[in-house]
Amino acid sequence: MKIGTILLPRTAALAPMAGVGDRAFREICRSFGAAFTVGEMASAKGLMYNDKKTEQLLCLGEGEHPGAVQLFGDDPGFLADAARRAAEFGPDWIDLNMGCPAPKIAGNGGGSALMKNPKLAGEIIRAVVQAVDLPVTVKFRKGWDAGSVNAVEFAKMCEANGAAALTIHGRTREQMYAPSADWEIIAAVKQAVHIPVIGNGDVVDAESCAALYRKTGCDLAMVGRGALGRPWVFGQIAAYLDTGVCPPEPDLPQRMQVLLRHARLACQYKGEYIAMREMRRHSFAYMKGIRGAADFRRRSGMVSTLEELQALTDELINTL
């Protein structure tokens, strides 16, 4: 599929994940074959008010292309100005978040709340499209709740206002991240528009990715939580789609090597103090599913330095 003039392999992309999908994690996922990555959502107002933390969310590494930055907000003018500013960071396209279910986002009119106001959402898309010389994509959900499932109509509106591609998460805002995603709505959106459609929700491994393609006909799959602690899932997906055979999971030493490489990148970009505290959730995920590692997972939540993490992983390998 293409976003603008950018040709993307039909494998799987990394979903934008606030508080998790930082530059270090995105680069690790790209190294394992993610088709593209999207940065953590950044506030349009925060960017225009020169908030330094917001600017950090827009930084892309050399290895992150193709890649996008993601903006959220509820004011067309602010988002147009923010898009021009975001374009200075060198993304390949700009993604608009109209699907975040978090109360602090949706409660202030952004994210998935825009699905209740398609007119305003359309004005935002059009304003951003006119503001930048980059493709503009939109990520949204099935609807706000069970009584207002409007993904198909919303998708048509996005296309009419100039969106270059769409990503749909197969749950309503009310459902948050459970129960199972509705892949039928993804298929319906794909049938309703002429621009590329990316499917998101419950793609956690190679088999589920292939199933999403079969059942929805979408142009690309997106992996979110399924990549936490398992960034090699992108390589497994690519191999499975190509050959029908899924490579095995890395062994324990290999898994810990990836964890340490991830941690070193995080320290490089954020400094050890912040990085190692944020790495705790990732460390826990990398150790998930390892028999006998419960105590090590618990201890990973108390690691404060790269040296401590190295010692913990060494002990884990020697013990198990």
> If you average pLDDT over every residue of the chain, what do you get?
96
Is 241 within 8 Å of 207 (Cβ atoms)? no
Q: What confidence tens digit (pLDDT) does each residue in 151-205 have?
A: 999 999 999 999 999 999 999 999 998 889 999 999 999 999 999 999 999 999 9
The model's confidence at residue 61, banded by pLDDT at 50, 70 and 90, is confident
Q: Cα separation of 284 and 262, whole Å? A: 13
In this structure, the dihedral spanned by the alpha carbons of residues 82, 88, 93 and 97, taken in order and rounded to 10 degrees, is -30
The domains located in the chain, with CATH, are 2-243 (3.20.20.70), 252-319 (1.10.1200)
| Among candidate residues 165, 112, 99, 168, the one with its CA nearest the CA of residue 136 | 165
Non-local (6+) Cβ contacts of 294 within 8 A are none
**Token output for 145:** 């709740």
* pLDDT on residue 285: 96
Query: Is the pLDDT confidence value at 51 over 90?
Result: no
Is 64 within 8 Å of 26 (Cβ atoms)? yes
Residue 52 burial by CB count (10 A; 0-12/13-18/19+): exposed, middle or buried?
Answer: exposed
* pLDDT on residue 55: 84
Write out the H or E segment, with its range, that includes residue 43: strand 37-43
Q: What confidence tens digit (pLDDT) does each residue in 233-288 have?
A: 999 999 999 999 999 999 999 999 999 999 999 999 999 999 999 999 999 999 99
* pLDDT on residue 211: 98
| Among candidate residues 314, 305, 296, the one with its CA nearest the CA of residue 267 | 305
Share of the chain above pLDDT 70, in %: 100
| Among candidate residues 30, 2, 215, the one with its CA nearest the CA of residue 92 | 2
Collapsing DSSP to helix, strand or coil, 266 comes out as: helix
Instruction: Identify which has the larger pLDDT, 310 or 19.
Output: 310
* Average pLDDT, integer, range 32-50: 93
Q: In terms of DSSP bridges, do strands 67-72 and 93-98 run parallel, antiparallel, or are they unpaired?
A: parallel
| Alpha carbon distance, N-terminus to C-terminus of the chain | 43
* Catalytic (active-site) positions: 100
Is 129 within 8 Å of 4 (Cβ atoms)? no
Is 140 within 8 Å of 150 (Cβ atoms)? no
